[in-house]
Amino acid sequence: MLPAGRSYDEIAGKFRWLVPENYNIGVDVCDKWADGSGRLALIHLGTDGGVERISFDDLKRRSNQLANVFRAHGIGRGDRIGVLLAQSPETAIAHIAAYKLGAIAVPLFALFGADALQFRLADSGARALVTDAEGLAKIASLRPLLPDLRLLLSVDGPGEGALGLGAEMARATDHFTPVATAADDPAVIVYTSGTTGPPKGALHGHRVLLGHLPGVEMPQDLFPQPGDLFWTPADWAWVGGLFDVLLPSLHHGVPVLARRLPKFDPEEAFALMARFAVRNVFLPPTALKMLRGVPRPRARFNYAVRSIGSGGETLGSELLAWGRETFGLTINEFYGQTECNLIVANCARIMEVRPGAMGRAVPGHDVRIVDSTGAALPAGSLGTIAVRRPDPVMFLGYWNNADATAKKFIGPWLLTGDQGFRDEAGYFHFKGRDDDVITSGGYRIGPGEIEDCLLKHPKVALAGVIGVPDALRTERVKAFIVLHEGVSPDPALAREIQDFVKTQLAAHEYPREIVFVEALPMTTTGKIMRNELRRWT
């Protein structure tokens, strides 16, 4: 969607949204490419090591069959369809079928426990669920609590009150006329992570995919290019995996590698990228930090990655330098949230990438820093990152939660709840969540900057930083640190790390309290759960 150009200013100046009145995600990412040519859509590396290559023609045929299965069981326009599967062809097929049916997909993380599933399925009022044997086992005890859930389909065959997905599809015709949907018609409910309260279902219209495109193309160095192939370890149940990778790639006719990784393995990640000639990758910062621990990757793995995008935590100079050394490219940071994603990004091909800066506003999005009244603030002022409505990537509202939806806005602005500032050159700098910014001795301190500094210490593997109450300073900085394997914690090392931050960053920002831990609490998308760290204090 981005126009051709040699600089950010040229591209942004020429950009115009192309959102038709009528639009359907399923038709866009599948049927338009299903021309009988056998164009490759997915490469699936199964848990048994087998490789399956799936064309757009296959996706159209199988998604049509599944749409007919849904319709035969009384599932139709506006009904919610849960998808409880890891990265797999069936995950993509279930989403495409739901969109073509005019239903609303509800992506669900395969590692969710029973409580998380019950809340999301009950809150959304899901009438159907596509899952596997593992998912069925979690759902079995919940069925009495989910009166709306009428149809269960299992990729592993019938059982636990479910019909076999394969058998049902085999009986269905592969001819289906997609429902005519408007760009603003509901398409998907993506639940927030719940790290700052109960999960809320962000309801998005079909236009959300088009709204994502500039924010995917920019950090992936003007994606797509000839020979591109996309992969991410992020689960397709999250907005990062689904709308930052899978659906935008299929929109552009670019194949996607699907591989279930129950636990991220940095050695396997390098091997995957080399084996399948992956060209484009979305890697959360935590994955990048884990990859950084792999010794001599360029000598051991014959990878040729063209672009890497990362979001979720601010990248610092340490990771940027490592990326250039390891991949021969600049990792492009991007920023957004479930309700309004990919609105700020870097793109090394057309602009300078500045350490500590998330990038500039993605063309098409009006992003500002505002105060508590919604007034736009001048460059250099700390405030709330906000986006002007209407915007194609912005959510329609929270599902069944009008009050929360209203609180998300002030005047024309959607409030992200994140603190930051924009510099004179238009680069946005993230300082933290509203409740993450540390106030100490009159200073407002963002934990991300301290975490980045801590990672530069040769003995630190991971770090999470919060503010804790302090009678003198209001708050003091506290760091939870995971050390590299083989390093033993002791008071002398704590003092060494404190002095390191004092000298590397600033005296007022060093952690006055350090706790060594074996692991940090993180969301499935790689964000440090600072609320959980506060519960540890």
Domain range list for the chain: 20-206, 435-535
Query: Any residues with CB less than 8 A from the CB of 473 and at least 6 apart, and which?
Result: 440, 441
Neighbouring C-alpha atoms within 13 Å toward the C-beta of 40: 14
What's the burial of 18, exposed, middle or buried (CB within 10 Å: 0-12/13-18/19+)?
exposed
CATH number of 20-206: 3.40.50.12780
For residue 109, give the nearest of 288, 203, 241 by alpha carbon.
241
* β-bridge partners, 154: 131, 164
Is residue 275 helix, strand or coil? helix
DSSP labels for 143-181?
A: GGG-TT--EEEETT-SBTTBEEHHHHHHTS-S-------
Query: How is residue 19 written in tokens?
Result: 């959102």
Q: Consecutive sets of 10 residues in the chain, 537 residues long: mean pLDDT of each? A: 97 97 98 98 95 98 98 98 97 98 96 85 98 95 95 96 97 98 98 66 98 98 98 93 98 96 90 98 88 95 97 83 96 95 98 95 98 96 97 97 96 95 96 78 76 92 93 87 96 96 83 96 82 90
Residue 196 confidence (pLDDT): 46
Is residue 500 helix, strand or coil? helix
For residue 418, give the nearest of 195, 190, 238 by alpha carbon.
195
Query: How is residue 280 written in tokens?
Result: 């484009």
Query: Using one digit for the tens of pLDDT, what is the confidence trace for 375-404?
Result: 999 999 999 999 999 999 999 999 999 999
Residues 78 and 114: beta-carbon distance below 8 Å: no
CATH number of 435-535: 3.30.300.30
Residues 354 and 320: beta-carbon distance below 8 Å: no
Chain mean position to CA 399:
20
Query: Any residues with CB less than 8 A from the CB of 351 and at least 6 apart, and which?
Result: 7, 8, 359, 360
For residue 427, give the nearest of 376, 370, 385 by alpha carbon.
385
Cα dihedral 348→353→358→362 (10° resolution): -40
Query: Using one digit for the tens of pLDDT, what is the confidence trace for 227-241?
Result: 999 999 999 999 999
Please provide the size of the chain in residues. 537
Sign of the torsion formed by the C-alpha atoms of 267, 270, 276 and 278: positive
Query: Using one digit for the tens of pLDDT, what is the confidence trace for 334-348?
Result: 999 999 999 999 999
Residues 258 and 44: beta-carbon distance below 8 Å: yes
Residues 411 and 384: beta-carbon distance below 8 Å: no
Whole-model pTM: value is 0.86
Sign of the torsion formed by the C-alpha atoms of 73, 74, 75 and 77: positive
What's the burial of 328, exposed, middle or buried (CB within 10 Å: 0-12/13-18/19+)?
exposed
Query: Using one digit for the tens of pLDDT, what is the confidence trace for 108-152?
Result: 988 888 888 998 999 999 999 999 999 999 999 999 999 999 999
Query: Any residues with CB less than 8 A from the CB of 318 and at least 6 apart, and which?
Result: 452, 455, 456
Query: Using one digit for the tens of pLDDT, what is the confidence trace for 272-304?
Result: 999 999 999 999 887 898 899 999 999 999 999
